[in-house]
Amino acid sequence: MAPRTTTVAFLGIGLMGSRQAKRLLDAGYDVIAWNRSPDKAKALAPLGARVAETAAQAASGAPIVVTMLENGTVVEDVLFGHGGVAAAMGGGAILVDMSSIKPAEAQDHARRLGARGVGHVDAPVSGGTVGAEQGTLAIMAGGDAGAFGTVEPVLRAMGRPTHVGGHGAGQLAKLANQIIVAVTIGGFAESRVLELHGERMLGRDFATKGRSVTHLKDIDNALDAARAIGLTHTPFTAASADLFRGLLSHFGDLDHSGLFAEIERRNGLPA
């Protein structure tokens, strides 16, 4: 158990963040929760979390700040917007960004936080809401080895962290993972992806456990990262992005196993 004096500010109490914050509470951390929709953060209060009115208030004085936000634009605003978290964090504190954003965005955030004396680790995850609830998330961490070592116990309360390289490397690893999931979601015998999502396809259980809009954001970020290094021909990734756009357009933000429904639609098959 972590000592109650170890404070972690957790920003972003959504489908994933709510479960991750609960894992930290169960591990004995003193969690300060913030979310743009306050009721989601308040739901953690009965479990022992302190609830902050603003992100900056949550981060002020916390040695470790975890963000689990929707995309790079939101992370940028929360960190560096008016009354942002970066200005509230003290020197020596570490920002652990578990959001899935572009590698270049993570590198930029690390540079700007470093100028303030604040550490940065990009640590996106794989494993969905089930992994978040069970504390079995695969956590791909980029950043300085020293900063990673400091936050590793916090990450271990939520899953299995692996230090994969410098700033932005965690995001690159996550994008590679998302490509693999998107391309193999409907095939490859004995695939762990198919084990999980094949059952949902058979039962037509497309209730959202992994948001398709989020997966499309990651695939688009992967395409952007590929273009940045001169890879202009990525057919399987591009095809996956096209399928997700069709799914979102015709069925809405289903679980990403709902790609099955979009493939059915394109082939004129009855639902």
List the one residue out of 7, 98, 108, 97 whose CA is nearest residue 61. 7
Q: Is residue 161 part of a domain?
A: yes
Tens of pLDDT, residues 82-114: 999 999 999 999 999 999 999 999 999 999 999
Domain tally for the chain? 2
No. of helices (H) and no. of strands (E), the chain: 13, 9
Residues 122 and 218 in one domain: no
Instruction: Compute CA 80 distance to the chain's CA centroid, rounded to the nearest angstrom.
Output: 19
Whether 40 is a known active-site residue: answer no
Domain assignment present for 200 = yes
| Residue 51 belongs to a domain | yes
pLDDT of 1 reads 47
Burial class (CB in 10 A: 0-12, 13-18, 19+), 175: buried
* Range among 24-28, 194-198, 204-208 rated most confident: 24-28
What's the predicted TM-score (pTM) here? 0.80
Q: Considering the candidates 22, 102, 174, 217, report the single residue annotated as catalytic.
A: 174
CATH code, 233: 1.10.1040.10
| Overall size of the chain counted in residues | 271
Has residue 175 been placed in a domain?
Answer: no
Higher-scoring residue by pLDDT: 180, 28? 28
Percent pLDDT > 70 in the chain is 96
Residue type, 217: K
Domain ranges, residue 44: 7-167
Residue 187 has pLDDT above 60, yes or no: no
What's 149's domain CATH number?
3.40.50.720
Shared domain check, 115 and 234: no
Exposure string for 115-124, b = 16+ CB within 10 A, e = fewer:
eeebbbbbbb
Q: With bands split at pLDDT 50, 70 and 90, how would you rate the model's confidence at 210?
A: confident
Q: Clarify whether residues 151 and 189 are in a common domain.
A: no
What is the per-residue pLDDT across 211-260, written as a single tens digit (0 to 9) for each? 899 999 999 999 999 999 999 999 999 999 999 999 999 999 998 889 88
Question: Residue type at 44?
Answer: L
Same domain flag for 250 and 135: no
Residue 76 is predicted with a pLDDT of: 98
